Amino acid sequence: MPYEAKPLPFAELKGISQKTMEIHHDKLYAGYVAKKNEIQEKLAKLAASGELASANQTHSELRALKDGETFAVNGVYLHEWYFDVLGGDGVPTGALKEAIENHYGSLQNFLNYFSACGLAARGWVVLAWDSHDRELRVYTGDSHNQGGVWGAQPIIVLDVYEHAYFIDYGAERKTYIADFWKNLNWKKADELYLAAIQ
Ligand SMILES: [Fe+2]
């Protein structure tokens, strides 16, 4: 079954324009969904064709498709997590807020750390529940298929690629990140946290 693009869970945001979201969701995210479907269809055909003997780590059709697959699939899922926690009132709440305060000393410490990670990363910042050591962790990625940690369930995902903010903020990524917090849907993030820790 082909994967279907999900609609945005909000109508508008503070600071981040409709134009940015149209490009980000309707063009870029939808493009990753289409590529995910295309690549996975090609992989199924290749696996069924009996041509797997040509697999090679320097270059092969299978290698190119597998590399594209993780880029496209993570491109889809990371964007869905990012869109999912936007459209809120920015007021921290729930068990997640408490867990953050316990782990990072205070909410402000966490916001400072996560925001700084947003300046240090080239692609993604993710507050995740790491199911291995059962702790909250902030992980970063420079690409959709770089930097992620398997077994760490995303809770708050921030896209820091320039396409996410350049139209509205120019090179002021810091202001974009400050506005990200103003738009954060903490209730949704809390639901994700509660589901992750189970
Ligand atoms: Fe993006």
| Average pLDDT score, the chain | 97
Shared domain for 153 and 127, answered yes or no, is yes
Q: For residues 90-101, give the mean pLDDT.
A: 98
pTM assigned to the model: 0.97
Shared domain for 126 and 189, answered yes or no, is yes
Shared domain for 55 and 125, answered yes or no, is no
For residue 138, what are the domain limits?
94-197
Per-residue pLDDT at 103 exceeds 90: yes
| CATH classification at residue 75 | 1.10.287.990
Rounded to the nearest whole angstrom, what is the distance from the C-alpha of residue 51 to the centroid of ligand 1?
35
123 domain-assigned = yes
Q: For residues 26-40, give the mean pLDDT.
A: 98
* CB-based neighbours (< 5 A) of ligand 1, an ion: 159, 161
- Name every residue whose Cβ is closer than 8 Å to that of residue 31 and which is 6 or more positions away in sequence: none
